[in-house]
Amino acid sequence: MEIPSVNGLLDFSGKGVLVTGSGRGLGSGIARRFAEAGAQVVVHYHASAAGAAEVVRSIRARGGQSVAHQADLTDAGDVARLIAHAVAACGRLDVVINNAGTYPAASLLEMTPEQWSAVLDTTLRSVFLCTQAAARQMIAQGEGGALVNISSIEAENPAPNHSHYNAAKGGVLMYTRAAASELGAYGIRVNAVAPGLIRSPSIEQDWPEGVARWTRTAPLRRLGTP
């Protein structure tokens, strides 16, 4: 059986799509797939400038349209500027993928308040700020839209040394339900996707015990790929 191309299954031509945290890892894969489906893609990054530039380059090399924009998603002003930049670049904003987050390991007993706040802010506060700003733009456009929050299997199945991340992703899951309930009246759909462990350049060095545990228990005996 011939496998159809992405743009043969999904047509996002003329749509403006923002993918947060797409300078590397899962976000970069999401950005590339949307571009393949015809979308104009805004690649957001916080610190991965080189990675974001490479994602944009690869999209343009295939004939797609993409720009990169830096923003601190824990800052409401930066988020507002990011949304404005996305609209200026694409002419409109139809889809936002809230993918940005951080994934450090720290035991519950040794975790500092600063470590807790850093993960909650980057992973949960960012979803709130981006959802609110994007929804206001979509309502102003008057044509609805879609928000997809990247949660995690850890939202319902906690992993050791990840209490801050577990709590943040659990919050993302409940926030998604609340946002879907409120924004549906405006034609805005809000959903969550909960991936398992996805390969990234440094994950085996940053969390070797987690990678080993996942590999032992996953039916395919491997990590997911972006």
Burial class from Cβ neighbours inside 10 Å (0-12, 13-18, 19+) for residue 193 reads middle
d(CA 18, CA 11): 16
User: Active-site residue 186, yes or no?
Assistant: no
Q: Give the active site residue among 103, 165, 175, 186.
A: 165
Q: Residue 102 in contact with residue 146, Cβ under 8 Å?
A: no
Q: Residue 73 in contact with residue 122, Cβ under 8 Å?
A: yes
β-bridge pairing 40-45 and 95-98: unpaired
Q: What are phi and psi of 69, to 5 degrees?
A: -150, 135
Q: Residue 24 in contact with residue 48, Cβ under 8 Å?
A: yes
d(CA 117, CA 72): 15
Q: How many other C-beta atoms lie within 10 A of the C-beta of residue 67?
A: 17
Residues annotated as part of the active site: 165
